[in-house]
A and B are shown apart, each in its own frame.
Chain A
């Protein structure tokens, strides 16, 4: 039962949606790529753009309307005895129509954008997952679990914000700014100049404050990491804490980290919070300055043509100029962050997929009258490799389970070879066992047979066919695998067993469970075979999970089986029963067994003793005992495994 098998410690947490560190540079390549996803919706986006423009123009028209109202109607009409309001009435109806257009346009924009954004996200998400399924095992062994997970959570979420919020907002802000700017220029050049200068100054301030807050957010994130790590470790060891009555000390340790986090989080949030009121009030200041300045211009420089209505309109306009400018500058951080997220998503998509040049496929066959093999659709219990040749002919080779490795060298990283010159052969129907200490290379050999990893040097032949020629999916379909670390999926017990063969009937699944000796514990579960398993079957004991995994492999009924420490948590008596059942199932088929417990491997046909990546002994139990070598020492307990 060794648990330190995996080279890479995996983190099982999903990092909470945290604030990412702002301040990265915008990567134009990523921007282009995100836009290319949007490209599929050109027509709709064009419509969205049109809507944005209409909406912006309506807003500007509304803000400038005050000038018309005051200067063209109120003032002249005030002077009249019997003012005629019909002109004003029409003016207001006109305004109403324009407003209605604006509102309609913004409604249209929102509706259109929703579909575009969600479709794009769906595409990205699904492409990412589909691509991930094609990645080699190596990727998963070398990448942190939580890190990959966060591409589906955090990164996709920032991308969602980008597409459904930031982009439309930036575009619409820009349109509003341009439209407002033109209107302001018409109203007063000088005041416009003033607004532009002050708006720019405000933007600089936003940036400075944002930067300060960003630094504290980095610190906050570090504390979050520490606190989450502590929580994870302690909750995982909760039972040990109880057994040792260390509850108080554990809380103490937690409080320390918790306070640190609180301090940093408070600072980061203070800066972020202050930004709002600062911008708001600077906006007010700018507003009164415009009023004062406008007053000065109107009173002392009548040549500028600035009227009361003009000033009032300008005040309204300045609002719709400054607000979007600030919005855009606040969006910049969000855009940069989501681009970083997008980049990570694309990184995952661009990972080199598992290569598969195989062309030999696995098919069901039946034996013809002349003894030849005839391909057929149904499950016959007889398999053959369908081998197309260059000249267009097809040959069928019966699948027997003859696996030969010759002079195989392999390392997970080129600098560190873990298997040296391994030569082995498993004849059909044999039970082949690997024994050796942790790191001797037992699991590596099975990783090579099913091509989770590809060999560096040497050859592996399966029924005489180089395994590189066999389509990976078919190769793996021919190999049943039961691993030490059992992974179950959310679903019923029945569904989990059926994972081995999707078209298996309930009866077949139950039969497999009986064979694996799992039936007895399943039947006492609350809902028997329909019991829902959640959280990787967390309600089951390790041994029960292993029995389920064996049942899952048994229902697949594979021609060759690899059992990698598959019974390490099962007691020897149950193991004996299971192994008898498996022997029955695998009659005449090849079985590879990796075990730490020698009683598991004792009745194998061939036992290979591995040491530091080399096979040092080979033979059956009796022979190896007689040889009095490493196996003998292991068996008699003179040497420690693990």
Chain B
């Protein structure tokens, strides 16, 4: 997993390596200083040698400046490396998501993808930052301080060798007890956020059913759990500080005692200043152990984020262009389904043994109840989903043999849940064709009956569409989406319930102009209104994933029960449409 993530470091490798190196330099300087200080005290202050004091002082100041330089350089490199790593990671994930098939997208919810790209990446950025700064610093500090301490006095340094294992074992015990509780807390936090989120989103439902108390109860339950768990975990962590302090204190006491004895006895070369330096090293050694334990916590804390990111990176697109010999031209708009079955979840077929033969240029209507798999059926044509069994051919070629881009450029589809993007109307329409001239855009809009309302906007085609198209009405949005699809000048146009918010008159007009503008284009139209499909050359009635009937309006009225029922449900009560 780590290997996979580290692949995103790429061009920031230099900074990622430089940062720890600079840090080593900084650490070396920091470790030398106490020794120099000891000399200053021993040979400067004690004998009262002012010259030596100044000389040593200057040396130490020099060390400080070098250390400062290394420190600043390390900070800079670490910042660049970690933000760059995050940038690459975001890029890798985002591009990966772009390669997903619909099935891949369905697997992750939109909001979960967004959190993975934002919060989780942030967390990893922090972890990486921490890692390259501290993961080297702490062990280096530990090692160098130990060496310097041993140089000063080997015997006294043995105290550290006793103290380090005690601290390591202690920290390990604390962390291993606290860690599972923390993991649980993170999960509970997710739950808390979810409760708030769902409550906020569904506040009207909550209020309409007078469920405020139930919601509060739900929230309190999770909140209590968080509090209880956190108290439990932090009570364990509370051992941290005293453990650390006790170890430091005992070291100090031992060093004072044995150090003093050595100095008093004399002859060991041990002097007062050395005592001071040894005490410094005590702090440095034990602090770096503390830091190591913190990295450990931090890394395990970001493990969940790393896993979630890897899930995105590991997700293999279920639909790819064939590796070799991909067909790059769609001959015509004929569509054939041969014994096609499809399931979203294994074993739960939603399309059963579908056989269809749609000649190029045909005008086809598809009708069926909620959940009859109308959308599923048409989504197989541009290979947004892969068939389970059987095959779908477009222009006589199996859709799996086409280059994906070729296929999808020839099959334009207006999705049921369609989206406009923030930008002007023109920019949105150019999604269909990057190089469309203003004239082409206008033509498409005329065909989609959108020109009429667009030209009424004060800024016409330059009207800015808000995110999600929230500033145009449902019917207007649908017509813009149709225009966008038309600009692709596709061989096949699929409208998935795309005129549901358009009134019947405009709907009729739209169908009429569509028939005129592109006579050779195969058109598939899913609709709920009989009036939308009754003039089609061919109407397919779907029921629970089975084809229930195929025919023209009058044929179906005669011999198809479902069609007749739908028809009657819409015209019952008088009034011809």
Contacts and interface: CB of A to CB of B under 8 A. Distances in A.
Given A73-B260, A85-B261, A233-B467, A295 B45 contact: yes
A182 to B, nearest CB: 21
Contact of A603 (B201, B223, B226, B573): B573
B505 A638 contact: yes
B219 A487 contact: no
B293 interface: no
Given A4-B472, A543-B370, A637-B577, A74 B415 contact: no
A118 B102 contact: no
Nearest to A116: B231
Interface stretch (B87-95, B163-171, B387-395, B455-463): B87-95
B114 A107 contact: no
A16 B474 contact: no
Given A2-B474, A133-B215, A535 B204 contact: no
B76 A244 contact: no
B397 interface: no
Contact of B238 (A111, A269, A543, A556): A111
Interface stretch (B240-248, B355-363, B437-445, B515-523): B240-248
Interface in A205-264: 224, 227-229, 231-248, 250-251, 254-255, 258-259, 261-262
A137 B83 contact: no
Contacts of B503: 634, 637, 639-642
Given A4-B470, A243-B413, A291-B57, A258 B71 contact: no
A571 B369 contact: yes
Nearest to B484: A244
Interface string A96-110: 100110111011001
B180 interface: no
Interface stretch (B146-154, B206-214, B296-304, B328-336): B206-214
Contacts of B230: 114, 118
A107 B238 contact: yes
A596 B501 contact: yes
A134 B117 CA distance: 34
B198 interface: yes
Contacts of A69: 256, 260, 275
A452 B98 contact: no
Interface string A247-290: 11011001100110110011101101110111011001101110
Contacts of B48: 295, 298-299
Interface majority SS (helix, strand, loop, mixed), chain A: helix
B466 to A, nearest CB: 7
A526 B348 contact: yes
Nearest to B93: A231
Interface string B30-64: 10010001001100111010100110010011011
A265 B201 CA distance: 32
Contacts of A269: 78-79, 82-83, 129
Nearest to A110: B238
A452 to B, nearest CB: 7
Nearest to B487: A244
B264 interface: yes
B408 interface: yes
A interface, size bucket:
35 or more
Given A92-B256, A274-B75, A473 B569 contact: no
A273 B79 contact: yes
Interface stretch (A306-314, A366-374, A396-404): A306-314
A126 B223 contact: yes
B233 to A, nearest CB: 9
A25 to B, nearest CB: 28
B193 A14 contact: yes
Nearest to A241: B98
Main secondary structure of the interface of B (DSSP, over half): helix
B264 A572 contact: no
A393 interface: no
Nearest to A122: B227
B345 A258 contact: no
A140 B37 CA distance: 64
A262 B84 contact: yes
A239 B415 contact: yes
Contacts, number: 475
B177 interface: no
11 contacts: A1-B501, A114-B230, A284-B63, A308-B272, A452-B204, A487-B205, A500-B209, A542-B417, A571-B528, A571-B566, A637-B505
A630 interface: no
A245 B207 contact: no
Contacts of A613: none
B457 to A, nearest CB: 15
B67 interface: yes
A499 to B, nearest CB: 6
Given A229-B467, A240-B415, A536-B201, A129 B219 contact: yes
B249 interface: yes
B365 interface: no
A332 to B, nearest CB: 21
B253 A95 contact: yes
A295 B44 CA distance: 7
Interface in B156-214: 192-194, 196-214
A304 interface: no
Interface in B223-269: 223-224, 226-227, 230-231, 234-235, 237-242, 245-246, 249-250, 252-253, 256-257, 260-261, 263-264, 266
Interface string B303-318: 0000000000000000
B422 to A, nearest CB: 6
B513 interface: no
B200 A4 contact: no
Interface string A510-546: 0000000000110010100000001110110111100
Given A4-B474, A288-B57, 18 more contacts: A66-B275, A69-B275, A85-B261, A95-B253, A107-B242, A114-B231, A137-B207, A245-B405, A254-B90, A266-B79, A276-B75, A295-B45, A480-B208, A521-B370, A538-B110, A571-B368, A599-B570, A621-B575
B404 interface: yes
Given A2-B474, A74-B264, A110 B241 contact: yes
Contacts of A480: 208
A17 to B, nearest CB: 7
A509 interface: no
Given A265-B86, A277-B68, A487-B201, A103 B246 contact: yes
B260 A88 contact: yes
Nearest to B249: A99
A557 interface: no
B72 interface: yes
A294 to B, nearest CB: 7
A518 B263 CA distance: 89
B408 A242 contact: yes
B498 to A, nearest CB: 11
A483 B205 contact: yes
B279 interface: yes
Contacts of B111: 12-13, 535
A272 B240 CA distance: 27
B566 A9 contact: no
A110 to B, nearest CB: 4
Contacts of A294: 45
B294 to A, nearest CB: 14
Interface stretch (A26-34, A144-152, A377-385, A460-468): A144-152
Given A14-B193, A292-B53, A311-B41, A270 B94 contact: no
B115 interface: yes
Given A1-B501, A149-B196, A639-B503, A242 B369 contact: no
Contact of B212 (A134, A164, A526): A134
A614 B85 CA distance: 59
A265 B99 contact: no
A294 B40 CA distance: 11
Given A133-B212, A277-B26, A308 B57 contact: no
Given A103-B242, A277-B68, A499 B211 contact: yes
Contacts of A539: 106
